[in-house]
Structure 1
Amino acid sequence: MSDSRPAPVQKFRIVFDEGEMVGPGKAELLERIRESGSIAAAGRAMGMSYKRAWQLVETMNAMFRTPLVVRARGGAQGGGASLTETGAAVLAAYRDYETAARAAGQPHVDRLTALLRSRNESV
């Protein structure tokens, strides 16, 4: 029998204060808004309602000195959303943090992984 495990996943969240945090979900939402130009489309792609996606955007916009996402009202082509310069900077800083933290933490994850019980071992 094989004892292969999926690679451990490191997920990072930065908590600034109560209710003020940036983590993998908010970073993904920002990326999807940047790619799609739509809060609704970004939310759908992540399996969340427009209301939930908009709540997350509002939370992030309120956290920082300037908004991360701006909306354009509808019209002939409908509305849209885009990242501001601050939004792009926050996303880039978070992704850089993730990369650095993952690299710094990998030796520790490897040590922990080596101590895991084999999948074939009985309890």
Structure 2
Amino acid sequence: MSGGVMDKAYRLRGRVWIEGPDGTFLGYGRVVLLERIREHGSISAAARSMQMSYRHAWKLVDSMNRQSRNTVVEKSTGGRGGGGATLTEAGEKAVAAFWSAYGDFRDFLAERGRQVDL
């Protein structure tokens, strides 16, 4: 059946995140936020780049820092030049761990999806 229902392939879809003691520790959006903090050097600039409120970004960073064994984002208070934020070694490790798991998860979904026969 060309152009009909029989030509439509099914795909497995899913989301992956890393749970911490208080719920979500890392997920796709949080990791992108961490990468933007690395790129921009501040939580406010990272939040703006994602069209996210500073308050929401700060809450996400605070949640990740509280749940992590080691601080993932180090904040410096403002002054004449303003404050800033940097990813720590633990933050870099968390980003790498998430992307590794995310890649494995995508590979699993693709492989398993090829086996779906409905």
Q: Same fold (TM over 0.5)?
A: yes
Is 1:61 aligned with 2:65?
Answer: yes
Identity across the alignment (%): 39
Q: Aligned to 1:95, which of 82, 95, 99?
A: 99
Q: Which residue of 2 aligns with 1:71?
A: 75
1:27-86 CA-to-partner distances (Å, cap 9, x unmatched) read 111010001101011111112110110000000000011110011112232111000110
Tell me the TM-score normalized by structure 2: 0.81
TM-score (norm 1): 0.78
* Deviation (angstroms), 1:94: 0.6
CA contact (8 A) 1:71 1:81 kept: yes
- The amino acid of 1:35's aligned partner reads E
User: Structure 1: any 5+ residue segments left out of the alignment?
Assistant: 116-123
Check the 8 A contact 2:77/2:84 in 1, yes or no. yes
List gaps (5 residues or longer) in structure 2: none
Question: Is the CA contact (8 Å cut-off) linking 1:20 and 1:63 kept in structure 2?
Answer: no
Larger RCO of the pair (alpha carbons < 8 Å, separation 6+): 2
Equivalent residue for 1:39, pick from 40, 43, 46:
43
Alignment check: 8 A CA contact 2:43 2:85 kept: yes
Aligned-residue CA RMSD (Å): 2.4
Flag as ranges the 4+ runs of structure 1 deviating above 6 A: 1-5
